[in-house]
Amino acid sequence: MLAALLIAGGAVAHAAWNLVLKATPAGGVRFLALTVVVSVAVLAPLGAAPLAAAVVERPWLVAPLLLSGALHSGYFLLLQRAYRAADVSVVYPAARGTGPLLSVVAAVVVLGERPGALALVGAAVVVTGVVVIGLVGARAPGAPRSGDAADARGRPRLARGVALGAAVGVVIAGYTLLDAVAVTRLGLEPVAWFWGSLVVQLLVLGPWLAARPRSAAATARRHLPAVLAVGILSPLAYVLVLAAYELAPVAIVAPAREASVVLVALAGWLLLREPHPAQRLVGSAIVLAGVALLAVG
């Protein structure tokens, strides 16, 4: 029950910050760097001391921390680019479907997990649902919402969105496996581990702030609510998932957290006026069915 509550809370927070990021397309890399500054500050009181103690005891932890931070940085940069190229209700499902699928495979092959047959069916159903949502189509900017001409203009945009979303999913699978190993096999506290990863992300993205401080300050003033929202909700969402890894197998948690795709599909229709709501709602229902199977399995 606790694992399910953690996953549900993480899904809501994750959907929320992705919608904020989609709605702030002009933020750029400096926007992302500013959100990481906020995340580092928010988690420092809980993560700094235990991480320092762990690194003093096991200095080799610096290597996987560097890799985790690099993967998370690549995820944010690639995700922002994808949202500029296509609808959120195409990119997000493609990313969140590819990532869990690869995560489940890696959990079985690398971590030796053996989820039950029903749970594996549930994982497959979740992936099917997000694919249904992601492949229903996307409109080109300024194009009509229906008709052959609109469909023709929308297809390249759809293809870009699916391709970039799948690339994001590959990165998701990479950091999911690495971070799950850190909190399950290495026994690291989820907040401490992720805070260390955030520090690395700040080292990667920070030079964009230092190079043009006035521009960074202007970005902060212009997008302060969005910076705070992403900077707080993003680490909250992921720490909840890392905590769930301590209570349930990766092969279960990774797909179950993708219930957030339902919220994003609905918000893409209701708030961002993205097309094809009926198909996206069908895909959402499939996702929910898969999550129910995961809970039972």
What pLDDT shows up at residue 140?
Answer: 42
The CA distance from 3 to 242, in Å, is 10
Q: Which amino acid is at 13?
A: A
Widest CA span of the chain, in angstroms?
A: 64
Q: Are 245 and 184 in contact (CB under 8 A)?
A: yes
Looking at per-residue confidence, does 259 or 82 come out higher?
A: 82
Tens digit of each residue's pLDDT (9 = 90 or more) over 221-230: 999 999 999 9
Grade residue 150 by pLDDT with cuts at 50, 70 and 90: very low
What pLDDT shows up at residue 49?
Answer: 96
Task: Please count the CA atoms within 13 angstroms of the CA of 107 that sit on its side-chain side.
Answer: 27
The CA distance from 105 to 269, in Å, is 32
DSSP assignment of 138-174: -PPTT--SSSHHHHHHHHHHHHHHHHHHHHHHHHHHH
Listed by start position, the domains of the chain span 2-296
The CA distance from 22 to 272, in Å, is 10
What pLDDT shows up at residue 41?
Answer: 96
What pLDDT shows up at residue 184?
Answer: 84
What pLDDT shows up at residue 52?
Answer: 95
Mean local confidence (pLDDT), 201-215: 92
Q: Which amino acid is at 63?
A: A
Look at residues 264, 283, 231, 259 and name the one whose alpha carbon lies nearest to residue 19. 264
What pLDDT shows up at residue 147?
Answer: 47
b/e burial code for range 175-199 (CB count within 10 A of at least 16 → b): bbbbbbbbbbeeebbbbbbbbbbbb
The CA distance from 48 to 211, in Å, is 27
Q: By percentage, how much of the chain surpasses pLDDT 70? A: 84
* Torsion of the alpha carbons at 275, 281, 283 and 288, rounded to the nearest 10: 150
Q: Are 84 and 255 in contact (CB under 8 A)?
A: no
Q: Is the predicted pLDDT of residue 53 greater than 80, yes or no?
A: yes
The CA distance from 39 to 282, in Å, is 35
Contacts (Cβ under 8 Å, ≥6 apart) of 25 = 80, 83, 84
Tens digit of each residue's pLDDT (9 = 90 or more) over 95-135: 877 776 777 777 777 777 776 787 778 778 877 877 776 66
**Lowest mean pLDDT segment, chosen from 77-86, 147-156, 278-287:** 147-156
DSSP state of 111: S
b/e burial code for range 45-57 (CB count within 10 A of at least 16 → b): ebbbebbeebbee
